[in-house]
């Protein structure tokens, strides 16, 4: 009796499972080490089984038909997917390849099993990942896309999500057939910005972030879209962007409405300030002219009456002197109130008015105030002069209330088309949180006045450690020259 055939030595150490089977009965004649380890069986246990016991999921008729198609020639092979069962009952997927061989006169089959566990797990993970991606894309408001720019300037959209038609009024097939259709949607005045942004992203491999308007001919409508994409350099020199386009028309219209509202509010604020300044001027003039004139007349009448009082009536003379002092104090109060409402120095120009206010502040508050300005007056209209003067007054008021300063330096400089007013103190300085206080109306009022002048107001730390307020406005002469 001849010995049973066995696998060659190189097959015994192979990584794949290899089984030597009887061609007629499919009984296991021999199996390599990989097969024995995976099935958790020794050689004798395997040789007591046929291949149907190892792969119980294979139908006999199906396997017989498969092997029947193998033919009788040596080296022919067929393949099938199956699951092999370990001794503990667990199963694992394999790809089986059957070959006919003859060994020592015996007709045999060689079954090679490649474990597909990792491959199937990877395929399942890929399917799950694709499902998650599809779910994200379906629920993303906008168009998810890939865009290619080749070195020769050609463009392509390799992939577009289902949101293409809803956003652009073009189907995915249309845009993939002719990628230049998208550029044609962009309004001519926005197209240059789109191309410049794309080139900058390509050259620097930086994020592509662009906002612009497109014309949807099918709906006769203009849309604002936002495009955000990340570039990747491909091996052939092309650049591929993965990104998303979204419709921002509603937010853009709201933003434009906010800008228009702010412009209208600024106009209203400027008008209110002008009306308020005019009303102050009118009241100051009436107080000065009418009330001041009447008080002067009263003082003159009192003086005449006091001169005619008899010398033997000291009480009446004392009363007259008291009334005369009261009238003097009232005249001083009228003069002070009139100046507070509208200083007459404003009529002499902004330089004279600021210099006068600096001296008044030093006299009233006891804080040294140094003013430096041009020798000649700056040509400002009455409204701009009054507005800049009020900003200066408010800044000095804030210094007196909050800064704890002992010195203030004021500088007015004309720099070509701009006029800059700087107020520096050596106080404790302003904190960032102070600017955000809900009732910091002084700072807000100063800022709004500066905006109404078409200028800016900036707060910073002064060289002396306190606060520096800088107001910068454009001169009317420069604006008129540009117009």
Q: Is the pLDDT of residue 124 over 50?
A: yes
Tokens at residue 237, please? 């020199």
Q: Among the listed ranges 73-82, 227-236, 423-432, which one has the minimum average pLDDT value? A: 423-432
Q: Which of 10-14, 416-420, 478-482 has the lowest mean pLDDT?
A: 478-482
pLDDT at position 437 is: 57
SS3 431: coil
Cβ neighbours of residue 156 closer than 8 Å, sequence gap 6 or more: 147, 148, 150, 176, 179
Alpha helices by DSSP H, listed for 346-404, are 350-365, 382-398
Predicted local distance difference test score (pLDDT) of residue 440: 57
Secondary structure class of 138 (helix, strand, coil): helix
Pick the more confident residue, 33 or 315: 33
The structure tokens 């502040």 sit at 361
Residue predicted with more confidence, 174 or 478: 174
Whole-angstrom distance, CA of residue 453 vs CA of residue 392: 14
Q: Which residue has the tokens 């002048």?
A: 453
What band does 1 get if pLDDT is binned at 50, 70 and 90?
A: very low
Distance between CA atoms of residues 22 and 24, nearest Å: 6
pLDDT attached to residue 77 = 86
CA distance 273 to 276: 5
Residue 147 near residue 175 (C-beta atoms within 8 A): no
- In whole numbers, what is the pLDDT of the chain averaged over residues? 83
With residue 114 as reference, give the H or E element that holds it.
strand 106-115
Task: Report the C-alpha gap between 46 and 35 in whole angstroms.
Answer: 9
**Any idea what DSSP says for residue 2?**
P
Position 342 pLDDT exceeds 90: no
Quote the pLDDT of residue 477. 54
Any bridge partners for residue 160, and if so which? 145
* 292: phi then psi, degrees, rounded to nearest 5: -65, -40
Half-sphere exposure in the Cβ direction for 115 (13 Å, CA) = 16
Strands (E), 344-474: 368-372, 407-415, 418-425, 456-461, 467-474
Separation between Cα atoms, residue 421 and residue 469, nearest integer Å: 8
**Strand ranges for 172-326 from DSSP E:** 208-216, 221-233, 239-247
CB 307 within 8 A of CB 317: no
For position 81, what pLDDT does the model report? Answer: 92
Which helix or strand (DSSP H or E) is residue 305 part of?
Answer: helix 292-308
In this structure, how many other beta carbons lie within 10 angstroms of the beta carbon of residue 65? 10
- Tens of pLDDT along 435-482? 555 555 667 777 777 777 778 888 888 776 788 888 888 886 544 444
292-325 residue pLDDT tens = 777 778 878 877 877 777 777 777 777 877 887 8
Range of lowest pLDDT (88-97, 286-295, 318-327): 286-295
Q: What is the pLDDT of residue 459?
A: 83
Q: Edge to edge, what strands does the sheet with 239-247 contain?
A: 155-160, 143-149, 239-247, 221-233, 208-216
pLDDT at 483: 44
CB count within 10 Å of CB 456 equals 14
pLDDT > 90 in the chain, percent: 26
Q: What pLDDT is recorded for position 333?
A: 79
């Amino acid at each position: 009796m001849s010995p049973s055939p066995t696998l060659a030595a190189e097959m015994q150490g192979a990584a794949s499972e290899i089984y030597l089977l009887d061609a007629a009965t499919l009984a296991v004649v021999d199996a390599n080490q990989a097969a024995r380890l995976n099935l958790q069986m020794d050689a004798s246990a395997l040789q007591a089984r046929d291949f149907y016991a190892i792969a119980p999921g294979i139908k006999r008729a199906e396997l017989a038909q498969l092997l029947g198609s193998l033919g009788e020639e040596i080296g022919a092979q067929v393949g099938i997917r199956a699951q092999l069962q370990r001794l503990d009952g667990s199963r694992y997927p394999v790809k089986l390849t059957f070959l006919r061989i003859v060994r020592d006169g015996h007709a045999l089959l060689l079954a090679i099993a490649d474990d597909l566990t990792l491959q199937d797990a990877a395929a399942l993970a890929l399917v799950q990942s694709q499902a998650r991606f599809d779910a994200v894309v379906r629920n993303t408001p906008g168009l998810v896309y890939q865009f290619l720019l080749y070195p020769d300037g050609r463009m392509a959209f390799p992939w577009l999500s289902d949101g293409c038609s809803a956003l652009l009024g073009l189907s995915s097939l249309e845009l993939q057939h002719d990628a230049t259709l998208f550029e044609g949607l962009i309004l001519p005045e926005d197209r240059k910005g789109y191309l410049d942004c794309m080139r900058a992203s390509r050259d620097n491999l930086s994020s592509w972030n662009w906002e612009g308007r497109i014309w949807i001919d099918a709906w006769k409508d203009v849309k604002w879209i936002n495009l955000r994409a990340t570039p990747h350099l491909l091996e052939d020199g092309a650049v591929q962007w993965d990104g998303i386009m979204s419709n921002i028309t509603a937010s853009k219209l709201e933003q434009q409405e906010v800008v228009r509202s702010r412009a209208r509010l600024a106009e209203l604020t400027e008008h209110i300030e002008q009306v308020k300044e005019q009303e102050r001027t009118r009241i100051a003039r009436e107080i000065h002219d009418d009330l001041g004139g009447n008080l002067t007349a009263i003082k003159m009448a009192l003086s005449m009456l006091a001169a005619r009082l008899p010398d033997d009536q000291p009480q009446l003379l004392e009363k007259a002197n008291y009334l005369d002092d009261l009238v003097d104090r009232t005249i001083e109060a009228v003069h002070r109130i009139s100046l507070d409402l509208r200083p007459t120095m404003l009529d002499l120009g902004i330089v004279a008015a600021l210099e006068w206010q600096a001296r008044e502040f030093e006299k009233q508050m006891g804080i040294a105030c140094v003013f430096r300005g041009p020798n000649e007056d700056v040509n400002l209209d009455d409204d701009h002069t009054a507005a800049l003067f009020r900003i200066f007054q408010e800044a000095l008021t804030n210094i007196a209330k909050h800064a704890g300063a002992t010195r203030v330096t004021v500088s007015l400089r004309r720099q070509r088309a701009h006029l800059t007013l700087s107020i520096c103190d050596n106080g404790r300085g302003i904190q960032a949180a102070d600017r955000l206080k809900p009732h910091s109306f002084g700072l807000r009022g100063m800022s709004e006045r500066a905006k109404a002048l078409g200028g800016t107001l900036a707060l910073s730390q002064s060289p002396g450690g306190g606060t520096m307020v800088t107001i910068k406005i454009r001169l009317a002469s420069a604006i008129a020259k540009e117009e």
